[in-house]
Amino acid sequence: MMTLDRTKAPEIRQISHFSILQPEKQLLSNGMPLNILRAGSEEVVRFDLLIKGGQLHQTQPLQAVLTNRMLREGTQTLASSEIAERLDYYGAWLDLSTSVNYSYITLYSLNKYFPQTIRILASMVQEAVFPEKELHTVLEANKHQFLVNNERVDVLARKQLNRSLFGQNHPLGKYAVFEDYGRITPEVLRQFYNRYYRAGNCSAYISGNVTPAIIRSIEETFGREHWGQEELEISHPVFTPEPETEKRVFIEKENAMQSSIKMGGFTLSLNHPDYLKYKVLVTLFGGYFGSRLMSNIREEKGYTYGIGAGIVSYPGSGLLIISTETGNEYIEPVISEVYREMDRLCNEKVDERELIMVKNYILGDMCRSYESAFSLADAWIYIESEKLDSDFYNRSVEAVKNVTTNEIQALAQRYFCKENLIEVVAGKKV
């Protein structure tokens, strides 16, 4: 019998092969794309509907997110209470969300009740009525949440950073103010709904233990007819960022116990040839618990409980964001140390062992991220919403495995530009 020597850690091995389940693609009778991911043995599935209409397409603040949010508040055949009670009775769970370019509707359902739950969802999407009483209730709740969030230094800093980078005339730099809630009416939401919520402007994903009966239910509810308003020409507006020239922006919050620091600047987009290897550099810099920023600013200096850096992708561009919260007296030392770590990566070659550790972290995280049916759905929804090619994940793995210490230093020298970073601090002036 073989015994394990538990005094020795297992040997670390880099993955030699990575594959991700490809979705089966088919068109419903009305032409709407359906992507099928058959994985898992549990009797549960997830249905995702993607609507091509988000923040960039709205004619006034809050229009996209509240149109999506109000779908569950009543239809031509179901009151809001009936929707909630029936979904609860069938053990289903519903999530409604909105991004820059898309609105998303996600339904988790037991297989045996999927015909019933998908009919409820179809009524919400195809027969929404935006009742005034329910809208008033939703708006009051959102107003309260807005006021609560406006007291948080991290929210204030995040909004100001985007304003400083994109400019207040750009949709990504223009945030809702309290008065905007009073400008939302049922008619405003119907306008967005009529333009974007239709079969010709949607795609769907079904993941989990998918059976032929489940596919038939989707065809019966979403695929047989061209639901929604007539085909309308959808414009895809192009907005140009207008960055502000001020390097440091301070937002005073007199009673803040800590200050929020957000530093950011424009960087590579997802389709840039250097993006995948550059992401390894950003991970090493501040993208995981053992990163340079965490080791220095948290572990060695003790200035913060946590600090991170990452790339936020937007259509046609990306942002490098460094984010933390710290004691008011540590603002300047934290910012100085961030720049010092950027300089180190530009001037000193990364140790091979450190790079191997970062590579193993990234590859291991990818393996964990795509091991379930629902996470696979997230992966392919990301591919569609970001307009990436189907080989993106394979190319990501190869980039991580093959990037060298010389390339890491060259990427830092090319793309880590301290002068392009805007510093936003929200907190108490000391």
pLDDT value at residue 108: 98
pLDDT value at residue 98: 97
**Same domain membership, residue 295 and residue 203:** no
pLDDT value at residue 10: 65
Answer with the one of 190, 207, 223 that is the final residue of a domain: 223
Answer with the one of 188, 223, 258 that is the final residue of a domain: 223
**Same domain membership, residue 49 and residue 192:** yes
pLDDT value at residue 205: 98
Look at the chain and report how many structural domains it folds into: 2
pLDDT value at residue 231: 65
pLDDT value at residue 5: 72
**Same domain membership, residue 271 and residue 179:** no
**Same domain membership, residue 180 and residue 54:** yes
Q: Domain range holding 268? A: 248-427
Residue 155 lies in a domain: yes
**Same domain membership, residue 260 and residue 203:** no
Contacts of 31 (CB under 8 A, 6+ apart): 199, 200, 226
Which regions of the chain are under pLDDT 50? none
**Same domain membership, residue 275 and residue 401:** yes
**Same domain membership, residue 214 and residue 98:** yes
Write the CATH number for 377. 3.30.830.10
**Same domain membership, residue 41 and residue 175:** yes
Residue 236 lies in a domain: no
**Same domain membership, residue 185 and residue 307:** no
pLDDT value at residue 16: 60
Residue 229 lies in a domain: no
**Same domain membership, residue 153 and residue 44:** yes
pLDDT value at residue 217: 98
What global pTM score does this model have? 0.91
Of 270, 405, 356, 373, which Cα lies nearest the Cα of 21? 373
pLDDT value at residue 4: 67
Residue 291 lies in a domain: yes
